[in-house]
Structure formats: C-alpha cells, structure tokens
Amino acid sequence: MEAIPRNDGEQYRFDAFCKAVLRNEARNYHRNKKRLLDREKSFSVLSMEELGQLTSVDHYPCEEFVFSTYGCDLHIDNELVANAFAALPKQEQSILILFCVLELGDGKIGDLMGMSRSAVQRHRTKTLNELVSQLDSDAPHMLYWQSTRAVAHRMHAFPKGGKASLMAFSEPCGLDRQDHPYKLISVEDTRFLHCNIKTLNLIPNCMAMQQAVEAGCDEVVFHRGDRVTEGAHSGLAILKDGVFCTPPADNLILPSITRKHFLTLCDKLGVPTRIAPFTVDELKNADEVMILSTGTHCVGACELDGKPLGGKDPALLDKLQKAYQQWFNEETAK
C-alpha cells in the first residue's frame, strides 16, 4: 500500500488561520458588548427621573374635555370642572390655561395677551376664586385617594430609590336613599383562590357585582360554605332579637370603617352587640339585614335570591340609621 504523504506545513497554516479567526471573533464580541454597555442601560438601574423621561400618558378624547389657547391645550377629565371652566369668558380661560399649563408668570401672560401684569393678576385671582366658589357646595362629595409604591418600570421587586406616589380626586357623590332597601344575591366567596388568573384582587368582587346588577339586584352576599363574609363593596351586619351582629374583622373580610363606627354607636345607644361569624341561614332568618359602607352608611335589605328578607324590626333599624346620620352630620360640620 502506498502511504499518503503528510503536509505538515498546510496543517499548521490552517490551524493558525482558525485560531486567528476565533481570536478576532472573540475580540469583536467583547468590543461590541462593551459598546452596548456604554450606550445601553437596564430599566432596573435607571433613576426615577430617568424613567419619567421615558414614560407618557395617553389622552383619549372620550374621557376628557380639551380647552385650547395660543397653541396650548388644557385637558380636564372631570365633567363638573369642565362645565364650570367652559362657562368662563374666553379671556379668563386663556389666562388660566397659560398660567396652569405653561406655568407662565403674569407679566409674560400680559405680553402675549396685550394686558398689563396687574390686570392679568387681578383677572386670574378673581376667576380662580369664582371657580372655587362655584364648585364648592354643601352637597355630599366623595374623596378618593390611593398610594402606590412608586411610578416605575413593571417589576415585582420594589424599585430602588422609588418614592410613593399619591392619586386623589373629589367628585359629587350623593348617598343612597335609606328608605329604598336593597335586593341581594348570594355568591360563593372564592376570592384569593384564583392563582390561575393573572389579574387584580378586586376582579372577583367586580364579577360578582356585575352578576347582581344583571339579576336586578343591588349587592352581593359573599359566603364561604355556610359562613357569611361580606358584600362585593360593602360590609354586612344583621339585627336579631335587638342585638347588632357583625362578623369578626379577621382575614376573611376587609375591616370596614363604617362597621367600626356602628359598633361605637351601638355602645352609646345601649344596643347590645355580638361580634361572631353567622351563617347564611342566620342571615335569612335575621330581623333586619344591614348593608354598611361609606357611600350608603346603612341601608336595609328586603330580598335575597328572590325571597323576602328582614323587615321584622324596622324601629331599631330606623333608630340606628338616624343616629348614624346625625353623628355623620355633626362630624362633617366641624
């Protein structure tokens, strides 16, 4: 057999070529990686100020009213405020838009509108006072506020250096009529048992409330097995043999501030109280069923799942309703 001649020189040159290619590729990779690190940052290392520059808020015409002047837009998402603003003369509207949106001083506003600084200041102050007086009333209003851990890129862990943000608004909100008892439906309480659904905690409450609305009812009676917990957006209590009964403020209900005030009120009025779980059957056989919330104070119930409910102790229910309303009026008048 004839031996195949070896060509060590070709092998060595090919080996050197491969090593050079790999070495240059590695050098290019590290150079490109360094360039990206110099020019790119992870959201997690950005400061709150830097994140703020990357965010924007969408404005939808169907949800707000827009007033314009000198190419500047003022967006108002409250219909009551928007109607009051629309009733202002155009000159006053322009002054407030330039002041609130562009944050211009009275002198610069005067230069734009051909007015003196003192005239702008006088119109602005008078108009703002008139708006406050027009919007201020003795009618019941709802003050809603909520705080978040911070405004930041979506992440599960708390953002470093994040500062809590507060959202608050006030709007007219009349109390429900206490002489119109609620109709109720019963719903099994499966809240916080939906780990298979990536959603917000209140979705089960909203779905249950929608079920009540579609059934022509006003609230929900949540229950875990036989035990009554609370409503979709209210606390529950019952009157039985002259005793005010309410579930304990444990991990199955949201501690209701209205419930707390009624317990204090009952002590002052000499009405016995009992803090203990009660069943669906006990609720059905109660003398009265009370729906407690900030927006209703206390409304009785007349029906559960289409069957009559309560109505056996209207005198005590009326006494508690009037006493709570009197206390509320005195507290809010201070």
Instruction: Please list the active-site residues.
Output: 198
State how far the alpha carbon of 293 is from the alpha carbons of 17, 109, 111, 229, in Å.
80, 47, 53, 14
Residue with tokens 């006990």: 282
Smallest CA-to-CA distance from 275 within 324, 236, 305 is with 236
Tell me how crowded residue 270 is: count the other CB atoms within 10 A of its CB.
Answer: 6
Instruction: Determine the straight-line distance between the first and last CA of the chain, rounded to whole angstroms.
Output: 115
Q: What is the CA radius of gyration of the chain?
A: 33
Task: With beta carbons less than 8 A apart as the criterion, state whether 52 and 43 touch.
Answer: no
Contact yes or no for 145/166 (Cβ under 8 A): yes
Please answer whether residues 324 and 298 qualify as being in contact, where contact means their C-beta atoms are separated by less than 8 angstroms.
yes
Following CA atoms 211, 214, 220, 221 in sequence, which dihedral angle do they give, to the nearest 10 degrees?
-80
Indicate if the alpha-carbon torsion angle 85, 90, 96, 102 is positive or negative. Answer: positive
Please enumerate in sequence order all residues whose Cβ is within 8 A of that of 334, keeping only pairs 6 or more positions apart, or say none.
none
Residues with Cβ within 8 Å of 188's Cβ and at least 6 positions away in sequence, in order, are 222, 223, 224
26-52: burial string, b at 16+ Cβ within 10 Å, e else: eeeeeeeeeeeeeeeeeeeebeeeebe
Among 16, 8, 144, residue whose Cα is nearest residue 78: 144
